[in-house]
Amino acid sequence: MTGWEMLAVALAGLAAGSINAVVGSGTLVTFPVLLAVGLPPVTATITNSLGLVPGNLTGAVGYRRELRGQRRLLVRLFPASVLGALTGAFLLLHLPAAAFETIVPVLVGLAVVLVAVQPLLQRALARRRARDGVAEAEELHVGSLRLAGLVAGAYATGTYGGYFAASQGVLQMGIFGLLLRESLQRLNAIKNVLTLGVNAVAALTYVVVATDRVDWAAAGLVAGGSLVGGFVGSTFGRRLPAPVLRTAIVLLGLIAIAVLLTR
pLDDT digit string, tens, across residues 202-247: 888 888 887 888 889 999 999 999 999 988 888 887 677 767 767 7
Mean pLDDT of the chain: 80
Q: What is the pTM of this model?
A: 0.76
**For range 169-185, the mean pLDDT:** 78
Q: Is the pLDDT of residue 79 over 90?
A: yes
The DSSP code for 212 is G
2: left (phi over 0), alpha (psi -120 to 50) or beta: beta
Cβ(92)–Cβ(162) below 8 Å:
yes
What's at 73, amino acid-wise?
L
pLDDT the model gives residue 120: 72
pLDDT (average), residues 81-108:
78
pLDDT at 99: 65
- Please name the residues in contact with 148: beta carbons below 8 A apart, sequence gap of 6 or more: none
For 184, what's the count of Cα atoms within 13 Å in the CB-facing half-sphere?
A: 26
Distances (CA, A) of 174 to 132, 152, 185, 187: 25, 13, 13, 10
Contact 33, 221 (CB under 8 A): no
Measure CA of the first residue to CA of the last residue in the chain; give whole Å: 23
CA Rg value for the chain: 18
**Amino acid identity of 145?**
L
Mean pLDDT of 55-77: 87
Between 29 and 114, the more confident residue is: 29
